[in-house]
Amino acid sequence: MEKGKSHFVLVHGACHGAWCWYKVATRLKSMGHRVTAMDMAASGVHPKQVHEVHSFSDYFEPLMEFMASLPPEERVILVGHSKGGFCISAAMERFPEKISVAVFATAFMPGPKLTSQTLSQEVNERLDSDKFMDAQFGFHNGLDEPATSLLFGPNFMASKLYQLSPPEDLTLALTLARHVGFHKDEESFKATAVTKEKYGSVRRVYIVCNKDNIIREDFQRWMIGNSPPDEVKLIADSDHMVMFSKPNELCSCLQEIAEKYT
């Protein structure tokens, strides 16, 4: 890479895809950076269907394949949003030597003593009683079995995720969002487990979004307190979809992080 320029790898959250980074990717590229926006399995334009993704390791396999394909000397900046925090954590555990810094943008951030199971339970307990609102559920094992997938509904997206984002970005999301699987099996919990030796050796920055209505600020601060990163940044007045509501501020943060950690 040219001196002063970085390679950003962007990982989306649940029901979204690489498409959600279009503003950020464009801005970062205009600064001279290299950008790879990933689709996790059965997300965005990835060819798999949600019922073919049986565990979390299946879900984030595209990211692991990408990390494995990097030349030995290349180091990237991983950026995970929301559920993407679990994905980049798994990559940090497997490829710590290929990551210069990991950025959690209002994302789930596990730690050696903070499991994905604990984080999922904690966020569920903090959600409103109508937490799923008009979401659609998939029952790929039959209607008499527990739901296997979820698609955020229009009202949920408008009020919980996109309430401060431009309306055209919500329209885009309603067009492109796909079902995401529930992965609560033992294999998935193991796939997202991290250690102090590997995950803990990668520098981390957490970006707090204080108007997030789904991963609320108090929960973001709780994760930061329980698994402290190297640095915490705040993007004020951003909803959950920081890449839509505050793309310029997010890019400024990412530029500062690139200058400091690479």
Catalytic residue status for 82: yes
pLDDT for 185: 79
pLDDT for 188: 82
pLDDT at 1 > cutoff 60: no
pTM listed for this prediction: 0.96
Nearest in space to 179 (alpha carbons), one of 138, 122, 235: 138
pLDDT for 129: 67
Q: What is the mean pLDDT of residues 58-69?
A: 97
Set 6, 43, 55, 82: catalytic member: 82
Set 33, 46, 179, 240: catalytic member: 240
Set 212, 227, 239, 245: catalytic member: 212
Rounded percentage of the chain residues whose pLDDT exceeds 90:
84
Q: What is the mean pLDDT of residues 148-167?
A: 96
Give yes or no for a contact between 7 and 33, defined as CB atoms under 8 angstroms apart.
yes
Cα 179 vs. chain centroid, distance in angstroms?
Answer: 16
Reported CATH class of domain 7-125+184-261: alpha beta
Give yes or no for a contact between 75 and 203, defined as CB atoms under 8 angstroms apart.
no
pLDDT for 200: 96
pLDDT tens digits, 69-113? 999 999 999 999 999 999 999 999 999 999 999 999 999 999 999
pLDDT for 2: 66
Q: What is the mean pLDDT of residues 36-51?
A: 97
Give yes or no for a contact between 144 and 115, defined as CB atoms under 8 angstroms apart.
no
Catalytic residue status for 212: yes
pLDDT tens digits, 119-138? 988 888 887 767 789 999 99
| CA–CA distance, 122 with 184 (Å, rounded to integer) | 14
Q: Could you tell me the CA-to-CA distances from 171 to 153, 162, 168 in Å, in that order? A: 12, 10, 5
Domain boundaries, the chain: 7-125+184-261
Backbone angles phi, psi at 181, to 5 degrees: -80, 155
Catalytic residue status for 144: no
pLDDT tens digits, 179-231? 999 887 788 888 899 999 999 999 999 999 999 999 999 999 999 999 999 99
Q: What is the mean pLDDT of residues 142-167?
A: 95
